[in-house]
Amino acid sequence: MPMDVMWLRSSALEVGVITYGARIVSVRTPDRDGTWGETTLALADVDAYRNASGYLGACVGRYANRIAGARFTLDGTEYRIRPNEGENALHGGPDGFDSYEWSTDGPDGSSVTLRHTSPDGDNGFPGTLAAAVTYTVTGPELSIEHTATTDKPTVVNLTNHTYWNLAGGGSAEDHEVQLHAGHVLPVDGGSLPTGPPVPVDGTPLDFRSPVRLGARIRDGHPQLVAVHGHDHNYVVDGPRGELRAAARVVEPRSGRTLELRTDQPGVQFYTANMLNGTLVLRDGTTARQTDAFCLEAQGFPDAPNHPDYPSTVLRPGEEYRSRMDFAFGTA
């Protein structure tokens, strides 16, 4: 079925949003020559999004990333989440936030807010969670703000799962990536964190200086072998809870740049390792590994099972808030 796209526009940026999954379906911005072009992977229509895996452009939750064994204990009670990746829960389990129609009053100028209420026990999570995401375009910047409240103690971790390709298509391996993070969470073959953050020094996971996206992806380092490329949660430098620089990406041919600032403790850098050529994009091409990348600002994966990680617990009377600011430009 056709998509009813809500457009947010400025003189430097155009962003398309749909209610299904509170999803970004287009981000258009000019290159260094002033030619406008697409910078995201997108599908042809709503039915394609309903039938596809990969979470393209969606708000994912209740819990972004993974929960080991699809279970956690909170205040002495064990909760079992419906698994959807082997024994684990990914992005909230099956029928997560990406698979619902969100409500909205429509755009208000260059901003739109979408809302979804997840009932108590949804996919096994406790508490009725009232979630909202607001997309705002200001000049060359796209701001994404998530909020949520609950009526029972619960855990929550929301993010946006847009796949970026600043060249507008083809391989993203020539993009130059810089991550403002001196530590990363090590993972096992199930992409689950195995312990406290470790320094990136001397490893192919070090992006503190700009590195070509494809330069190290085939390195034999055990962390890259474990997840078939880059798919790690980086600990963003600077005070947690404060908006700070997390990443900068440059696409050398078009000159387009993308900078991310966030108040979240981590950012998942993902090189689309699970895309295998079966996903047909809006332009009729198919998507494969390294045809795009994701920068998912979030709390740490599996934090409910790691008391030493920053807490993702939300209690009644509190408000969950997270922010991701994407700034576009040219170099």
Query: How far, CA to CA in Å, does 170 sit from each of 41, 163, 165, 226?
Result: 10, 13, 8, 25
Clarify whether 161 is annotated catalytic. yes
**241 Rama sector, left if φ>0, alpha if ψ -120 to 50, beta otherwise:** left
One-letter amino acid identity for 36? W
Count of residues in the chain: 331
The one catalytic residue in 161, 175, 180, 230 is 161
How far is the C-alpha of 93 from the C-alpha of 67, rounded, in Å? 9
DSSP structural state of residue 299: S
Other Cβ atoms less than 10 A from the Cβ of 78: the count is: 8
How far is the C-alpha of 297 from the C-alpha of 23, rounded, in Å? 16
Clarify whether 116 is annotated catalytic. no
The one catalytic residue in 38, 176, 251, 296 is 296
Give the pair of three-digit tokens for residue 143: 């701001």
Smallest CA-to-CA distance from 26 within 298, 284, 330, 283 is with 283
How far is the C-alpha of 39 from the C-alpha of 56, rounded, in Å? 13
All residues at 6 or more sequence positions from 279 whose CB lies less than 8 Å from its CB, including other chains: 43, 52, 53, 54, 286, 287
Known catalytic residues? Answer: 161, 296
